[in-house]
Amino acid sequence: MWIRYQIMRRFKLTFLIFFMLVAGVAAAEVDYYSPENVLQFADFLFEEGDYLRAAGEYQRYLYYARLETAPTGEGTRLETAPTGEGARLDSASTGEGARLETAPTGEGARLETAPTREGAQLDGAPTAESQSTSPNEREAIHYKIALCYRFGGEPVRAIDTFETLLQKHPQSAFASRAYYQIGVSYFLMEQFADAAQFLQETLPRITDARQHTESEQLIGLAYLMQKQWRDAEEVFSTLQTSEVAIVRDKAATYHHYAVQGANLPTRNPFVAGLLSTMLPGAGRLYTGRTGDAIASFIVVGLTAWQTYDGFNRDGITSVKGWTFGTIGGAFYLGNIYGSVISARVYNRTVENEFLSTLSIELPF
């Protein structure tokens, strides 16, 4: 019995050792740090919407690809390498982040960018099937890293990365896209004036016809968000004859908004102030603030009456007359100034409510 136990024990131990050796050999055959596997993982993260981690893996890919092509003298293989700042980020946008929706403060317009699985693959970007790291392919990876930052909600880092790409490779095949994406990043940060100015300055360098047209569209949208209705109307009027179908179709809608924006029922601040000069509270009534109008009329009217009563009884030396006259004068001037401000607030409210009905879809 004891001999049988020993035989079974040795058999199990031999089988376990054999299994471990086979598993070890199989595992050794998979090089998880090879550039092709790193790139596959980066592409997977990008497809899943985990953009910040994808950026780190793309940086890792560039590092390992550089190591493989660099002569080492001894032929030794490095097992570890810096992964870039992005690789250390454990939290990143998920699949939900593939659709970005923001509501600019005070503007209310809904901004949407919707990279899809079909749009995630960039033309000319290397994949796991094409592993040579030619200059063009390295540029494609750098562009994709910047795109990851943009989709991952870090537009400042995206702008810096796009600008670095343009500085190093001004003639890159991705230059036109990079210029456009910088404009989009400014737009998503609600820096509409910067977006319009940057794209206007770089339009001559955007040689791709589609990107050039989409950049013009973005300039028009920036004008809309700044409430520069006439400028936006002019841009979208031109784009209605564009050869890019999606831009042409949207241009008609945006042109309609620009025309409506230029004809919103606004109030003239000068008229509001003039009305309150002639009749206290009239300017507030003009801007729809009935309660403020009544209050202004009563306060200014009562202080004016008390001022008249004081001077009528005690003459020019009346303390009551001078006291209420000073108070009444301050209320009277405040009534005029308040009416001017009221008109401006009214206009801003009307414009913001109008823009809140505008849905903006930015191309990939």
The pLDDT value recorded for residue 224 is 93
pLDDT band of 317, cuts 50, 70, 90: confident
pLDDT band of 142, cuts 50, 70, 90: very high
Least confident of 161-165, 186-190, 256-260, 311-315: 311-315
pLDDT 10s digits, 101-123: 434 444 445 455 444 433 444 54
What is the reported pTM? 0.69
Instruction: Report which secondary-structure segment, H or E, holds 16.
Output: helix 2-28
Q: What is the mean pLDDT of residues 55-76?
A: 70
pLDDT band of 91, cuts 50, 70, 90: very low
- Say which residue, 58 or 35, is predicted with more confidence: 58
- Say which residue, 149 or 91, is predicted with more confidence: 149
Q: How many residues does the chain have?
A: 364
Most distant CA pair in the chain: distance in Å?
133
Nearest one of 82, 160, 173 to 134, comparing CA atoms: 173
- Say which residue, 15 or 304, is predicted with more confidence: 304
Q: Rounded mean pLDDT of the chain? A: 79
pLDDT band of 37, cuts 50, 70, 90: confident
- Say which residue, 318 or 27, is predicted with more confidence: 318
The pLDDT value recorded for residue 63 is 85
Q: What is the mean pLDDT of residues 310-326?
A: 85
Assigned token pair, 175? 């230059």
Asked whether residue 336 carries a pLDDT value surpassing 90, the answer given is yes
3-state secondary structure of 361: strand
- Say which residue, 99 or 12, is predicted with more confidence: 12
In sign, the C-alpha dihedral spanning 311, 314, 315, 317 is negative
The architecture CATH gives domain 35-264: Alpha Horseshoe (1.25)
List the domain boundaries for the chain: 35-264, 269-355
The pLDDT value recorded for residue 19 is 53
Least confident of 46-55, 66-75, 92-101, 137-146: 92-101
pLDDT band of 97, cuts 50, 70, 90: very low
Given a contact cutoff of 8 angstroms between Cβ atoms, the answer to whether 139 and 146 are in contact is no
Torsion, Cα 56 59 61 64, to 10 degrees, reads -120
